[in-house]
């Protein structure tokens, strides 16, 4: 019987890369709509097609979806985070879960540094001012990036790339990561409260887990330096959006640069009204090179597992 691969959704124009890899391996690709269906829609498609593999970008792959196909062998994430996949349910059924952990290291770290530069140099603010007919260079309250302290919450691959790039500007670098075991040259490991109190720029590079959900909340933002910048290029659920809006209104934060939101794709109107809000639509991972690498590697992982080979990026080894 020919293996069926179910592509739940995709954040690019078509499924050509995935289809070429899957079909050239003698397998069949079926796909949902580009915009992710809710969990019930994914579950219905799994029951209909009984796939051997699920490739998912943003769509939720629930425990019910995983149980709906007795043929299922792998759920492959087109991305890094696994918060949209019921990993425990997959593990319990012996289903592999994989991701592509390092395809967008340069892109996301570039995005974080770009936000920092946009703030220190007033790029977004003054672009808006000029377009509104105001030419007021005397209003500039700009800062030298190299004289600032930057705190990185989480210190995985992407955060290390961000540290390398900010270090080139001469920034003082702090990090908080409970899994960091060895010292890193040029980066001081501190407790989270100390990082928040000492940093001019705080960058979230942590995964979304139950332990990090709303890690950056009203109480923690209150401990940050007044007028500082908060950057989130990780997962929206780590930052309490309502608390950010309040902090922007009060001046506790002078700016918040958010590529991700708890409520995405919905953006609160009150956030849109904040002049200190810099917002991008969850695109920090994206470039021509990163998307091609992501799509190719995720699809190749599916083919590899369905051929009986070991995956290169297993996320639940106990499923073996």
The catalytic residue positions are 235, 264, 282
User: How many angstroms separate the CA atoms of 59 and 169, rounded?
Assistant: 38
Question: Number of C-alpha atoms within 13 angstroms, CB side, residue 191?
Answer: 4
Cα angle 194-197-198, degrees, rounded to a multiple of 5? 85
Q: In whole angstroms, how far apart are CA 287 and each of 110, 204, 257?
A: 11, 21, 19
User: How many angstroms separate the CA atoms of 73 and 50, rounded?
Assistant: 11
The phi, psi pair for 50, rounded to 5°, reads 45, 60
Radius of gyration of the chain (CA): 21
Q: In whole angstroms, how far apart are CA 77 and each of 82, 83, 299, 305?
A: 7, 10, 10, 14
Q: In whole angstroms, how far apart are CA 270 and each of 187, 197, 232, 276?
A: 36, 26, 18, 12
């Amino acid at each position: 019987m020919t293996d069926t691969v179910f592509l739940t959704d995709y954040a690019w124009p078509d499924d050509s890369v995935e289809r070429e890899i899957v079909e050239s391996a003698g397998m069949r690709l079926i796909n949902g709509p580009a915009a992710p269906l809710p969990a019930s829609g994914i579950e219905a498609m799994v029951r209909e097609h009984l796939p051997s593999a699920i490739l998912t970008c943003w769509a939720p792959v629930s425990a019910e979806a995983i149980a709906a196909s007795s043929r299922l062998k792998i759920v492959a994430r087109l991305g890094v985070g696994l918060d949209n996949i019921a990993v425990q349910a997959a593990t319990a059924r012996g289903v592999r879960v994989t991701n592509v952990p390092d395809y967008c290291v340069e892109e996301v770290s570039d995005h974080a540094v770009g936000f920092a530069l946009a703030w220190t140099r007033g790029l977004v603010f003054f672009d808006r001012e000029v377009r509104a007919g105001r030419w007021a260079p005397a209003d500039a309250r700009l800062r030298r990036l190299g004289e600032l302290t930057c705190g990185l919450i989480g210190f995985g691959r992407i955060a290390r790339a961000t540290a390398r790039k900010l270090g080139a500007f001469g920034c003082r670098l702090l990090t908080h990561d409970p899994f960091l075991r060895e010292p890193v040259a040029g980066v001081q490991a501190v407790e989270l409260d100390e990082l928040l109190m000492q940093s001019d720029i705080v960058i979230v590079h942590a995964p979304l887990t139950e332990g990090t959900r709303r890690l950056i909340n009203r109480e923690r933002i209150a401990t940050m330096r007044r007028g500082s910048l908060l950057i989130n290029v990780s997962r929206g659920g780590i930052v309490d959006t309502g608390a950010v809006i309040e902090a922007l209104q009060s001046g506790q934060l002078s700016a918040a640069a958010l590529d991700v939101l708890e409520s995405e794709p919905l953006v609160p109107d009150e956030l849109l009204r904040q002049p200190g809000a810099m917002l991008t639509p969850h695109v920090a991972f994206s470039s021509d090179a990163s998307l091609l690498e992501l799509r190719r590697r995720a699809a190749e992982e599916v083919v590899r597992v369905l051929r009986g080979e070991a995956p290169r990026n297993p996320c639940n080894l106990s499923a073996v």
